[in-house]
Chains A and B, each alone.
Chain A
């Protein structure tokens, strides 16, 4: 077991993007703004990477901001779980920044100063969630993220944005204040701490099975960013945001923050032992399965490309919850790895959707006939990412799906196996037709047939980079597996 080391690095990793906000907000020049965004993004990845050796050694870097209650302080502690999440989201921020420049300039969007400022703020909050040492700190950054992303979701400032923004805040803040806050109080009241502790903090609380179940559901539904049905409808609505926002926030940062919070609660607050002792895993599997199948079915009937991707995200997020609710080592590490693999796959798909929109103005699947001939590289990236979402080798999605399936079989949860396989078929059902249309159907008459200069479009390049990431993670999964194993080892003691 490693030791706890005091270090300012986690604080720096969180603050580096918030620190540039004043510069972003006050600069009039687009170039200065974008340059500083990159400085912050690379700085963030650099700091997160600097922490990696410590984490792999098993040391925990911790930093206390302020003590607030007896036994609870605002504090950071970096462990393998948080590091994995931070690494994925900070790396993808760089790619998304490049993409944003192409997208926002290409469409001449208004309010770009605000856009970059809040984006940086949202990344700070995401890092804060990743590195939180206890539930209270996590809650603080979770809430900050909700408010920092509101101006991004409603960026267009039109009627549609207004109603999407309302729904967004209603579900997310309503869930966190209405469900998570009281649940957190009960946890604190019965154990006088909120630290994420291996084995959980509720083991000796004397809560009955019914009370524990209630707590579990208050957390699982209260962290509405995880979009578990029936608390999912904000996510498709939030697709009115500009595509880079949908890409990073609604495929990676925001939704993964929700899932990550649930995982933290499952392993660090409730504890797997307690959950399996009280036989609560099965109910959670059921909830996750309903969401997986339900969302995939809805995705099948969508024509809007981004809407379809949104429902696909809803379903894929529940893979992670499903993995954790198997209450086994493989399940947890499968879920954690799925955070990374799904992030790369889904962000690629969103990048492609945005690249198509910038180049041709098309947003619906039915309009995409023959687009593969005009944008071959973009659509090739789309194909790779689709394979990853479906879970076909040689892409990263196979890795996490394999672990999840193994875990289901190992723990005798054949319904999990069934749901995962069914969902693979369904996701093939909604992703492959897009690729088929793009490459094999003829373009409608009268549309331009010229090939888009993809090598000069940051949007397409970003998609290629992340789709390459999907392949790379399959070919050398060492780091991912290592971090996931470390996390499982830490929390489950195996």
Chain B
């Protein structure tokens, strides 16, 4: 049983997705518990898998017993082990929390919505677990297409935003595929481990250089790395809430994982940081992206749009941290990825709870929210402090590592950008909290008191908020036993 864990984390959500589709026709009420069971099993399997990896080292699973490099393999090491655990937990919590809003928004299409969500989870889990470059493309398409559909299920401008995302996302996926094609022509292999060892002997090849560049550009497009982010704010803002809370924490982060996997393992640090000579340019660019993201986020009025723009900043942190190319920077980038899954989840769930109780999310409708929805606002404050990087939340510790990496690498511009963006995030969230804290008792229009969100939303939210602090306090343990050993040998 345990030897099949790497396959289970993908097949369980896949089968559950079909079950949820079927339940949507027969008994729509069953969709929620079916998915809950499926995602629960997935989350437990992922955590089990991580424990196994920590104990016994890398786990390799040959699908259909076809040996590598011909067959598809799933490979789980510390890096994707921890990402798998994070995203499956995130999906599970989000599933519980979004029940009420799915019910109210998609009562007629409940099976379709839940089925798509589960397929999306299948896609992102698969992207993370696979050890095959082409299989990754297939799973990437599964995740992307379901994401397009989920976003388009929102009303208003959602279909248009989704269409924009389809165009951009497809270009990104094509770039990736093209790059993998180059690699295949040059090496005759699609297995990542195999590729990595063959590529060691081909460092001066121009074709490999082209492959690297177009693959990375494709992945950056999917991550929403500035200036390839155009699709992201609209897609996430106009998407229906239950879709946003699932896609926003997962999609960009999984793509950031793909970038790390390719840069650190497939091409290897010697090639990516040494031979190419591009790393300083990328860090400069990431610093620019952090600043640009901060400016974009500052200019937003709508709360949902503002928090989606913060993703742009976080993504730029991860790109910059990875390309710093030293131990602290890379560790920080990986840890930040894990943290950001939960930070983004916390903030998005909290805002979705606010949205559940009141349609508009303008600054003027926030008055008095602290006394009316204390738990939701408390969780939002925790998530916000983590994004700003205030200890003891986990966001501080990954930011610390990123700053340390920048200092050691002499990239002071990245340090400045990190600190500047922290202060910008403080301003962004503070505007919200100020609006919610002041103006108490003088709610101008409507004058109805908000009630705290339903228990099904508040409890998962509080779990995430406490988790953020707990992860911060455990960061020493997490870094030394999971993340640092995950780094490849070439990272000094």
Contacts and interface: CB of A to CB of B under 8 A. Distances in A.
9 contacts: A65-B473, A66-B476, A73-B476, A140-B392, A161-B438, A166-B430, A173-B426, A177-B426, A186-B407
A120 to B, nearest CB: 16
Interface of A: 65-70, 73-74, 136, 139-140, 143, 147, 151, 154, 157-158, 161-162, 165-166, 169, 173-174, 177-178, 181-182, 185-186, 188-189
A114 B459 CA distance: 22
Contacts of A136: 391
Contact of A185 (B390, B404, B426): B404
Nearest to A186: B407
Interface string B391-424: 1100001001001100110000001000100110
B400 A169 contact: no
A69 B434 contact: no
A73 B475 CA distance: 10
Contacts of A162: 434, 438
Contacts of A166: 430, 434
Question: Contact residue range for chain B?
Answer: 20 to 34
Given A66-B474, A69-B400, A74-B392, 7 more contacts: A66-B473, A74-B473, A143-B391, A157-B439, A177-B423, A185-B404, A189-B407
Nearest to A159: B438
A185 B400 CA distance: 8
A298 to B, nearest CB: 28
B389 interface: yes
Label chain B's interface by main secondary structure: helix
B197 interface: no
Contacts of A173: 423, 426
Interface of B: 385, 388-392, 397, 400, 403-404, 407-408, 415, 419, 422-423, 426, 430, 434, 437-440, 473-477, 479-480
Contacts of A139: 391
B476 to A, nearest CB: 4
Contacts of B440: 157
A301 B423 CA distance: 35
A67 B437 contact: no
* Leading 9 A-B pairs by shortest Cβ distance: A67-B476, A140-B391, A68-B476, A66-B473, A143-B390, A185-B403, A162-B438, A157-B438, A189-B407
Contact of B437 (A143, A151, A182): A151
B437 A185 contact: no
A66 B392 CA distance: 11
B397 to A, nearest CB: 6
Nearest to A151: B437
Nearest to A69: B476
A181 B390 CA distance: 10
A140 B390 CA distance: 8
A425 B165 CA distance: 71
A224 to B, nearest CB: 14
B404 A157 contact: no
Given A66-B476, A68-B476, A151-B437, A188 B404 contact: yes
Contacts of B404: 185, 188-189
Nearest to A67: B476
